[in-house]
Amino acid sequence: MHAPEIKTPLPGPKARAIIEKDAAFVSPSYTRPYPLVMARGDGAVVEDVDGNRFLDCAAGIAVTSTGHSHPEVVQAIVEQARKFLHMSGTDFYYEPQVRLAEEIARIVPIDGPVRTFFGNSGAEAIEAAMKLARYASKRPFLIAFLGSFHGRTLGSLSLTASKAVQRRGFGPAAPGVFHAPYAECYRCPVGLKPETCQAECLRFLEDQVLVHLVAPDEVAAIVVEPIQGEGGYLVPPKAFHDRLAALAKHHGILLVIDEVQSGMGRTGRMFASEHYGLKGDMVAIAKGVASGMPLGLTAARAEVMEWKPGAHASTFGGNPVSCAAALATIKLLQESVMANAAAVGDHLMAGLRELAQYHPMIGEVRGKGLMIGVELVRDRTTKERAGKERDAVELEAFTRGLLVLGAGRNALRLCPPLVLTRAQADVVLKILDESIGAVERKSGIAG
């Protein structure tokens, strides 16, 4: 499908009618940055119910890794659906689940034999990791990072520290969780320079949290995103993960790597951890693993995942149709899609950095592969956050036929399907150029 192609005012009449019904019958807790009502998709293109077509740089929040309705994924879904739709892996066995567990053991960044627990989402993958960490270590406490997002269920929400609105009204959170600063190098939490960084931001964890708040031998696990997602697509230096892994090992603390958003080819490698040589005791996987089918996986060292039958389970976790989609997804990622993410990601990143030369609102471009963040500021010297302007850029892009999302307080995130072409990336750059320019003029941000 050709895109972008805007045929009606946005939203169009059919979209408006659906949005009105949504307002009456659907939970108001969902955040909708602009009025898109999807009808169908193909690759990196989305068509709404009024026939308007958009380039998709959101991918269902980094989920449709192989593009919308990739024919090989659809074929795998249909073939499995014809055999059977459900037979709970909690109580019985079926081959797709076993095959996927075997494949995950082969590719996941964990040393040695690996076992996998099957759930339905990233939040469930994290919940399983939290429970397993306490069960295996016989320790009660957990550590996560400021800016992190690990889910919205009450357990995973206690780790999440992305936005206050996500916690507001739901307290108290699950007890026993402590937070430390993440490596946000554009705004270093300890005021140092990226070029001389030795991950000094971890001193707060080492010298404060583990001294004044919790004894290291009572910490079950440290949960970390290799690249922080909702917090703003923050890319830490290698020293951060090296130092963190050494700290965990020194104190016998399990290291849980949250690859829910950064994994499955998104960064040009199967897992973002691979850019750092980072290995975990557990890895949480979801989003892009099944190209849009609901699936969450908690992979762990086999010697860690030794909980007894009945300790944890999920009726729908590891649904056979989702497992079939995941197996097809992994095959496609390995054959070509992951390499495309690396190549097109480099091209898109270079183009964005060129735009930064004449758009003063672009403070920083960062990312790996097709996990790209664009920090928007009102002033490059003071780094004043351009939160409202970021939201305005999202809307400007939508009216021009581009779907983008925000991340953190003032960053744009580009997380398109990993099949985005170089030509489509050039269209993305053109629309962002126009959209950012329009907001700069309206906001009085001069070049």
Q: Using alpha carbons only, how large is the chain's radius of gyration in Å?
A: 22
Q: Which band of pLDDT confidence, cut at 50, 70 and 90, is reported for residue 160?
A: very high
| Number of compact structural domains in the chain | 2
Element (H, E) at 436: helix 422-443
In a domain, 3, yes or no: no
- pLDDT for 190: 81
Q: Of the residues 318, 351, 376, which one is the last residue of a structural domain?
A: 318
Whether residue 98 sits in one domain with residue 63: no
- pLDDT for 447: 62
Helix, strand, or coil here: 115? strand
Q: Which residue has the tokens 């795998």?
A: 76
Residues 344 and 90: their CA atoms lie apart, in Å, by 40
Residues 295 and 121: their CA atoms lie apart, in Å, by 5
In a domain, 328, yes or no: no
Q: The whole model's pTM is what?
A: 0.96
> Which alpha helices (H) appear in 206-279, and where do they start and end?
238-251
What residues make up the domain containing 179? 87-318
Q: Of the residues 318, 351, 383, which one is the last residue of a structural domain?
A: 318
Separation in Å, CA 59 to CA 33, 292, 404: 14, 9, 9
DSSP of 14-33: HHHHHHHHHHHHS-TTS--S
In a domain, 291, yes or no: yes
Whether residue 216 sits in one domain with residue 92: yes
In a domain, 76, yes or no: no
pLDDT in tens, 304-318: 999 999 999 999 999
Residues 220 and 130: their CA atoms lie apart, in Å, by 9
Whether residue 349 sits in one domain with residue 266: no
User: Do the beta carbons of residue 333 and residue 324 sit within 8 Å?
Assistant: no
pLDDT in tens, 76-127: 999 999 999 999 988 999 999 999 999 999 999 999 999 999 999 999 999 9
In a domain, 81, yes or no: no
Q: Of the residues 249, 284, 318, which one is the last residue of a structural domain?
A: 318
Whether residue 362 sits in one domain with residue 227: no
Whether residue 45 sits in one domain with residue 129: no
Whether residue 347 sits in one domain with residue 268: no
User: Do the beta carbons of residue 182 and residue 148 sit within 8 Å?
Assistant: yes
- pLDDT for 165: 86
In a domain, 409, yes or no: yes
Task: Sort strands 141-145 and 219-224 into parallel, antiparallel or unpaired.
Answer: parallel
Whether pLDDT at 135 is above 90? yes
In a domain, 298, yes or no: yes
Residues 256 and 131: their CA atoms lie apart, in Å, by 12
- What CATH number is given to the structural domain containing 345? 3.90.1150.10
Q: Which residue has the tokens 């070509």?
A: 336
pLDDT mean over 160-169: 88
Whether residue 305 sits in one domain with residue 398: no
Residues 437 and 423: their CA atoms lie apart, in Å, by 21
Quick one: the chain helix, strand, coil %, rounded to 5? 40, 20, 40
Residues 27 and 147: their CA atoms lie apart, in Å, by 25
Separation in Å, CA 343 to CA 20, 329, 336: 41, 19, 11
Residues 128 and 233: their CA atoms lie apart, in Å, by 24
- What CATH number is given to the structural domain containing 288? 3.40.640.10
Query: What single letter denotes the amino acid at residue 77?
Result: I
The pairs formed by 162-169 with CB atoms below 8 angstroms and a separation of 24 or more are 162/230, 162/231, 162/408, 163/230
User: Do the beta carbons of residue 294 and residue 285 sit within 8 Å?
Assistant: no
pLDDT mean over 68-83: 98
In a domain, 382, yes or no: yes
Whether residue 91 sits in one domain with residue 60: no
Residues 112 and 303: their CA atoms lie apart, in Å, by 9
Helix, strand, or coil here: 79? helix
pLDDT in tens, 167-212: 888 888 888 999 999 999 899 888 777 777 778 889 999 999 999 9
Element (H, E) at 362: strand 362-368
Separation in Å, CA 292 to CA 12, 124, 165, 321: 26, 16, 26, 11
Mutual angle of helices 320-332 and 71-83, in 10-degree steps:
150
Whether residue 163 sits in one domain with residue 54: no
DSSP structure class, residue 421:
-
